[in-house]
Amino acid sequence: MKKTILLLFFLPIFSNAQISKKDSIWLPMKTFLGEWEGEGEGESGKGKYKRTYELVLNSNYIEVKNESSYPPSKNFPMGEVHQDQGFISYDKGQKKFKLRQFHIEGFVNKYTMESISSDKKHIIFISEEIENIPNGYRARETYHFKNENEFEEIFEIAEPNKDFEVYSKAILKKVKH
| pLDDT 10s digits, 128-161 | 999 999 999 999 999 999 999 999 999 999 999 9
Q: In this predicted model, what pLDDT tens digit does every residue of 44-94 receive, in sequence order?
A: 889 999 999 999 999 999 999 999 999 998 888 899 999 999 999 999 999
Nearest partner of 49 among 173, 177, 161, 176, judged by Cα: 173
- Could you tell me the domains of the chain? 20-176 (2.40.128.20)
Which residues make Cβ contacts (< 8 Å) with residue 38, sequence separation at least 6?
48, 49, 170, 171, 172, 173
C-alpha span between 114 and 139 (Å, rounded): 12
C-alpha span between 157 and 166 (Å, rounded): 7
> How do 138-147 and 150-158 pair as beta strands?
antiparallel
Nearest partner of 127 among 159, 150, 104, judged by Cα: 159
pTM, rounded to two decimals = 0.84
Q: In this predicted model, what pLDDT tens digit does every residue of 5-50 receive, in sequence order?
A: 444 444 444 444 555 666 688 998 999 999 999 999 998 889 999 9
